[in-house]
């Protein structure tokens, strides 16, 4: 090959080379950033629910929790032996379904060591009721709302009463995001247990008065029995 042929070949200027390299690098970075962004968007938040034995009570705390679709819940042993098990016909001791249609079933099995944990990621929107296998009938139940209320858990009362208080409604969970155990709703005149005790006291007082008035009017007691004791010294 002669010199004229060599001179006719195009040469890549140093500045052109650097500009090209920079462009390729920027495109690579942009592509990488997009992938990282998509991965971050797909990775949900992890929430924690403690499983607790406290005296004669067996507790999920919080008893009510709101999460977004794609979030994960970690159920962990604070004390005692417990499970986190969905109300689903395929699970032990659950004869009814109380999770949304199409939602993935979950069951941790009974965990026995302090700090042991089970995680489940919730993708389907709706209300999820769950329980502890050993303590279901003793009131160890909980509720999650994923995205928005819905499904069988919103159509009928939970079959197992929470130990203290009541199961928080789905809309209340959405409003407050996290509800600690126990949930005792305010009625404007005090908590439900307080109102119940107050009502019982008023009923007993009224009943006592009516019985006393009846005894006096019935003539069972003579007037002498009602004379002033201050004069007799009794």
Q: Which residues are annotated as a binding site for Cu cation?
A: 132, 135, 140
Residue 63 has φ and ψ, to the nearest 5°, of -80, -25
The answer to whether the CB of 170 falls within 8 A of the CB of 149 is yes
**Can you tell me the distance from the alpha carbon of 186 to that of 165, in angstroms, rounded to the nearest whole number?**
11
The 10 Å CB-count burial string (b at 16+, else e) for 137-175 is eebbbbbbbbbebbbbbbeeebebebbebebbbbebbee
Distant-in-sequence, close-in-space partners of 198: CB < 8 Å, separation ≥ 6: 190
Query: CB atoms < 10 A from the CB of 135, how many?
Result: 23
The answer to whether the CB of 58 falls within 8 A of the CB of 110 is no
Residue 220 has φ and ψ, to the nearest 5°, of -70, -25
Task: State the binding site.
Answer: 132, 135, 140
**Can you tell me the distance from the alpha carbon of 128 to that of 10, in angstroms, rounded to the nearest whole number?**
69
């Amino acid at each position: 090959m002669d010199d004229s042929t060599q001179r006719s070949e195009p040469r890549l200027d140093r500045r052109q080379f650097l500009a090209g390299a920079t462009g390729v690098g920027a495109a690579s970075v942009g592509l990488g950033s997009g992938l990282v962004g998509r991965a971050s968007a797909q990775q949900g938040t992890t929430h924690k629910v403690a499983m607790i034995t406290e005296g004669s009570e067996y507790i999920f705390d919080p008893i009510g929790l709101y999460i977004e679709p794609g979030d994960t819940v970690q159920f962990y042993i604070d004390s005692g032996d417990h499970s986190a098990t969905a109300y689903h016909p395929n699970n032990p001791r659950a004869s009814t379904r109380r999770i949304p249609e199409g939602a993935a079933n979950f069951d941790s099995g009974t965990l026995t060591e302090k700090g042991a944990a089970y995680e489940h990621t919730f993708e389907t929107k709706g209300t999820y009721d769950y329980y502890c296998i050993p303590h279901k009938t003793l009131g160890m139940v909980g509720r999650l709302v994923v995205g928005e209320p819905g499904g069988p858990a919103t159509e009928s009362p939970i079959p197992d009463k929470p130990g203290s208080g009541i199961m928080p409604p789905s809309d209340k969970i959405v409003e407050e995001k996290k509800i600690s155990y126990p949930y005792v709703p305010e009625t404007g005149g005090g908590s439900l247990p307080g109102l119940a005790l107050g009502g019982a006291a008023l009923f007993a007082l009224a009943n006592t008065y009516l019985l006393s008035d009846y005894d006096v009017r019935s003539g069972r007691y003579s007037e002498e029995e009602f004379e002033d004791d201050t004069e007799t010294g009794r």
